[in-house]
Chain A
Amino acid sequence: TQLLEQSPQFLSIQEGENLTVYCNSSSVFSSLQWYRQEPGEGPVLLVTVVTGGEVKKLKRLTFQFGDARKDSSLHITAAQPGDTGLYLCEGRETSYDKVIFGPGTSLSVIP
């Protein structure tokens, strides 16, 4: 059974600091997605990565897919209060697999 782990579980930082959150599994993924969820709202897709070693940038956010396609990281540069939220990773072994989310990293950026 596919299992996704995320670390850290909670993160509280000052505005302007950098941070990295991780998503790990023993499974090989054909694709991995990152979402951000704000309180009372549904998750919003940030990025999809499909190729081992792939790096994608979205403004101050940098996403990396591991070479073996079993893990991923999200790095935020100069965090802002608007980055506060729950960051979720979701991976699939094939596009027809059941969707499984990690437990999330709850990020709080303090002004």
Chain B
Amino acid sequence: DAGVTQSPTHLIKTRGQQVTLRCSPKSGHDTVSWYQQALGQGPQFIFQYYEEEERQRGNFPDRFSGHQFPNYSSELNVNALLLGDSALYLCASSRGSGVKLFFGSGTQLSVL
């Protein structure tokens, strides 16, 4: 039973560029959430997708957008990258509104 998988594992971009991160949820899970984690801090909630729609959103600008596909996989897009967007981006899946989150290993994004 595959867990949550994220790609790529590492990414280096320059300011102003755009990036797309991908996530496949754990088998049987239909809800995907994205988090940004700066070094030494707790994860910050970006948004959650359920039934291909954004259900909740954290305090992130519109430069952060996402998508969920019919197979429940998801993408996180960040436009006009800033140096401050450098972080570990985590994807978590769950079943419906379940509180138990299963995380992937994350994508480490560095913006130069």
Contact = CB atoms under 8 A, between A and B. Distances in A.
Interface of A: 31, 33, 35, 40-45, 48, 88, 90, 92, 95-96, 98-104, 106
A95 B45 contact: no
A56 to B, nearest CB: 14
A89 B11 CA distance: 28
A43 B93 CA distance: 12
Contacts, number: 58
A96 B97 contact: yes
Contacts of A98: 45, 48, 56, 58
Contact of A45 (B102, B104, B106): B102
A104 B40 CA distance: 8
B43 A101 contact: yes
Interface in B46-85: 48, 56, 58
Interface residues of B, number: 25
Among B33, B40, B98, B99, find the residue whose CB has the most chain A CB atoms closer than 10 A.
B99
24 contacts: A31-B99, A33-B100, A40-B105, A41-B106, A42-B92, A42-B105, A42-B106, A43-B43, A43-B101, A45-B100, A48-B99, A48-B100, A90-B101, A92-B99, A95-B97, A95-B98, A95-B99, A98-B45, A98-B48, A98-B56, A99-B33, A99-B101, A101-B42, A104-B40
A33 B97 contact: no
Given A42-B90, A98-B56, A101-B42, 10 more contacts: A35-B101, A40-B106, A42-B103, A42-B104, A45-B100, A88-B43, A95-B98, A99-B48, A104-B41, A106-B40
